[in-house]
Amino acid sequence: MLNIVIAGVGGQGTLLASKILGQLGLNHGYDVKVSEVHGMSQRGGSVITYVRLSKEERLYSSVVEQGKADVLLAFECLEALRSLPYVKPGGTVIVNTQEIMPMPVITGAAKYPDGCLGQVKAKAKADVIALDAIGIAKECGSNKAVNTVLMGVLAKKLPFSRGQWHSAIVQNVKPEYACVNRNAFDRGYYYGENS
Amino acid sequence: MKQLLLGNEAIARGAYEAGVRISSAYPGTPSTEINEAMARYSEVYSEWAPNEKVAVEVALGAAVFGARAMACMKHVGLNVAADPLFTAAYTGVNAGLVLVVADDPGMHSSQNEQDTRMLARAAHVPVLDPSDSKECKDFMSIAFDISEKYDTPVIVRLTTRVAHARTVVEPGERKDIPLKEYAKNTAKFVSMPGNMIKRHVAVEQREKSLAEDADLLSVNRIEWGDKELGVITSGAAYNYVKEALPEVSVLKLGLAYPLPRRLIEGFAKEVSELVVIEDMEPFFEDAIKAWGIPCSGKDKTGIQGEIFAGKIAAKFKGDPDPGPMTFGGIPVRPPVMCAGCPHRGLYYVLSKLKLNVLSDIGCYTLGALPPLNAVDTCVCMGASIGMAHGAEKARGGQSKKTVAVLGDSTFCHSGITGLLNMAYNKSAGTVIIADNSITGMTGHQDNPMSGKDLSGQPAPQLDAMKLCEAMGIKNVRVVDPFDLKALENAIREETARDELSVIISKRPCALIVKQPNTPYYCDEAACRNCGLCLKLGCPAIVKTEKGVRVEESQCVGCGLCAGVCPFGALSIRGNDHA
């Protein structure tokens, strides 16, 4: 069984990531549960979606609870910190190092945590992979491809091949963005191998 | 072929397969995607109605005249539609009539945690309560069959974690359900007292016979396990029970109302301890206790919020309590108006003028949050106008300090009658229609003011100016909320009057029209650190030690900030001090 938590800021494309991941599971004979967030909380607020995949047993709940996540895929640094309690000891945290200021920080009522990424690394009882996914996405030609860059990194932790991911991505994005997204995925997939 | 469908998409699929012909709805999280999915089936006529009452009346009319029909809404929408529902329960339906109503335990995107089962019981209408997308699809067919067999509207009740969960569904074929004959039957369908006294007897008989049949309904089932503990549950809570307590005996209620008494009594006799685990109100628990069967549940699970597996394992198995799923000690990230949002200009001016703002349900409710802090009240669809009128009549002259604000879709939903009341009763006040040409918060659905219908085809567009004129309102004007000066003048002038005024603050939602996407920047040399731009509450403008920084990845180039800055510090690169 695989429990994945996808955390980010409304508008970053976390829903597409969970949809593609769910589709992959379905394509390859897994029982799948995906829990999404729609409506008010999508408007620039914290958003969390859950993806559960299982080949052995039937799944019931669509929610991943505290300490149960094998992987936390965080689209933003503060959201990674917020969602750390989901991760089980020995799990994996994949974090985009991008920092998006929440409104209390913008107005000066609160402070963005100093050395947020350092705190994620220090507090996580898990393997932390940090990358500038938005920088990579821009190099691929679109800010919006940040989700496919992160999916590329995630792919290394899951039992699906690069080709299987490519087809699930192409199924779920507009044809004109397929090329950008495939490239972005590959940049994530091979992240850390040549550096 | 198996598909991964949202609960809402599976509801639409189930309705399609059950031969539904008519679907009417008003968008509302977590129900919106049902009718969006319905619109993809060309065999079904589907539409956005201006509100849930209309949607239910449309579906009722279709059902009475022989077509299987449905109406979809969020839980609070059923309050609006309660009027036709309560009497449709008396008249009966002819062809099947199903209402799909989505509750929101945990209030992810809602103003309260009301439990639809309570309202359904009050209306004497049966309720089905699916647990996942497969059941969403399957229960729709069952709901239509029950509706026709017992001649009653049926509610299929969802909760957020069912409506917005994607799980595996095997789609089937559409059943060929012909139109039923319509025969005039005034004793049944004319709700005069003499007729309805007899119909009330029929309602009671129907409910009794359905309750008896419910003992044998396949959607109510026992999964025997260890008999030390027996759990009665339904809906999303069933999933958490199965995760947390896989070894216990479970009575899963697919029909949440009326309850299968003999089945429950039999189950209770077989188990040593009986608990009820249900989202929201102690609906099953109270009924079971009233039959004299000892049980517990809400004393451990509580009424507020969602019940997850971790909590169940802690309360009923002695596992360590995982505590609430919120993580403190770091800045919260509340929702915000998007960069480029037209409501920002409106609320900036309202905040500056320090007016009492009686707001309404929509994206513009977010004007209540810091730094705008502009909203005094928000209660229900359309309440802004009624409350503004009440405030004026109570205090006399309050209208000089008060405005009502509501969106275009909310105005069509429930604002028109409130405005008519103000006009008719010679009220003073300023009503601002924040017209962004779309129903925004629910994810961009068209409405009678947007010029398009559910299928995306051009549709007649309500002319709010003419409507106001027809009501006899003399002061009506349209202003662009990004023209801050003009908007401020308009609000000052209209609130100064002793008459009723309407201001249409018109600019399309930033997410439906292409934005310039040329980011602004802050010239540090020109910035005097006055903080005015920060009062906009724009997610792209961030406070720094010396002044502000524009976050290029967030900025859409709307330029509102440049209009606020008195020192010309905010501009597009290469276009300084523009």
For B131, nearest residue in chain A (alpha carbons): A60
Task: For an interface test with B, give the residue of A3, A63, A84, A119 to mutate (most B CBs within 10 A).
Answer: A63
Judging contacts by C-beta atoms under 8 Å, the chain B residues touching residue A42 are: 335, 443
Which of B161, B539, B553 shows the shortest C-beta gap to A63?
B161
Calculate mean pLDDT across residues B195-220: 98
- What single letter denotes the amino acid at residue A79? E
| A106 inside 8 A of chain B by CB | yes
CB–CB of B331 and A11 under 8 A? Answer: no
Instruction: Please report the pLDDT score of residue A41 as a whole number.
Output: 61
Which of B4, B333, B371 shows the shortest C-beta gap to A32?
B4
Q: B117-149: string of b/e by CB count within 10 Å (b at 16+)?
A: bebbbebbbbbbbbbbbbbbbbbbbbbbebbbe
| Tens-place pLDDT, residues B136-193 | 999 999 999 999 999 999 999 999 999 999 999 999 999 999 999 999 999 999 999 9
Q: Give ipTM to 2 decimals.
A: 0.96
CB–CB of A44 and B336 under 8 A? Answer: yes
Residues of chain A with pLDDT under 50: 195
- Report whether pLDDT(B306) > 70: yes
**In B183-225, beta strands by DSSP E:** 220-223
Confidence of residue B578 (pLDDT cuts 50, 70, 90): very low
Structural domain for A83, as ranges: 2-138
For A113, nearest residue in chain B (alpha carbons): B330
| Tens-place pLDDT, residues A30-69 | 999 999 887 666 778 999 999 999 999 999 999 999 999 9
Instruction: Please report the pLDDT score of residue A194 as a whole number.
Output: 60
- Report whether pLDDT(B576) > 60: no
DSSP symbol at B175? P
Judging contacts by C-beta atoms under 8 Å, the chain B residues touching residue A143 are: 553
A41 vs chain B: nearest CA distance in angstroms?
Answer: 6
Hey, which residues 28-47 in chain B have their CB within 8 Å of chain A?
29-30, 32-33
Structural domains of chain B in order of their starting residue, each with its CATH number: 3-214 (3.40.50.970), 220-317 (3.40.50.920), 342-506 (3.40.50.970), 520-572 (3.30.70.20)
B538 vs chain A: nearest CA distance in angstroms?
Answer: 8
B359 burial (CB, 10 Å; 0-12 / 13-18 / 19+) is: buried
Tell me the HSE value of A188 on the side-chain side, using a 13 A CA sphere.
34
Distances A120 to A73, B242, B331, B333 between C-alpha atoms, Å: 13, 33, 15, 17
Instruction: Please report the pLDDT score of residue B321 as a whole number.
Output: 85
- Report whether pLDDT(B327) > 80: no
Does A47 fall in a domain?
A: yes
Does A54 fall in a domain?
A: yes
Which of B168, B309, B441 shows the shortest C-beta gap to A26?
B168
Calculate mean pLDDT across residues B220-234: 98
- Nearest Cα to B121, choosing from B303, B258, B285, B232? B258
Does A18 fall in a domain?
A: yes
Confidence of residue B319 (pLDDT cuts 50, 70, 90): very high
Calculate mean pLDDT across residues B330-349: 96
Tell me what percent of the residues of chain B surpass a pLDDT of 70.
Answer: 98
Quickly tell me which residue has 């009882």 as its tokens: A125
Does A57 fall in a domain?
A: yes
Mean pLDDT (chain B, rounded): 96
Report the CATH number that the domain containing residue A46 is assigned in CATH.
Answer: 3.40.920.10
For A98, nearest residue in chain B (alpha carbons): B553
Cβ contacts of B128 within 8 Å, gap of 6 or more: B139, B142, B143, B146, B154, B155, B156, B157, B219, B254, B255, B256
- Nearest Cα to B258, choosing from B117, B161, B365? B117
Does A144 fall in a domain?
A: no
Does A168 fall in a domain?
A: no
CB–CB of B4 and A37 under 8 A? Answer: no
B164 vs chain A: nearest CA distance in angstroms?
Answer: 5
* Total structural domains within chain A: 1
- Nearest Cα to B181, choosing from B19, B66, B62, B58? B66
CB–CB of A43 and B363 under 8 A? Answer: yes
| Tens-place pLDDT, residues B407-424 | 999 999 999 999 999 999
Task: For an interface test with A, give the residue of B166, B231, B348, B541 to mutate (most A CBs within 10 A).
Answer: B166
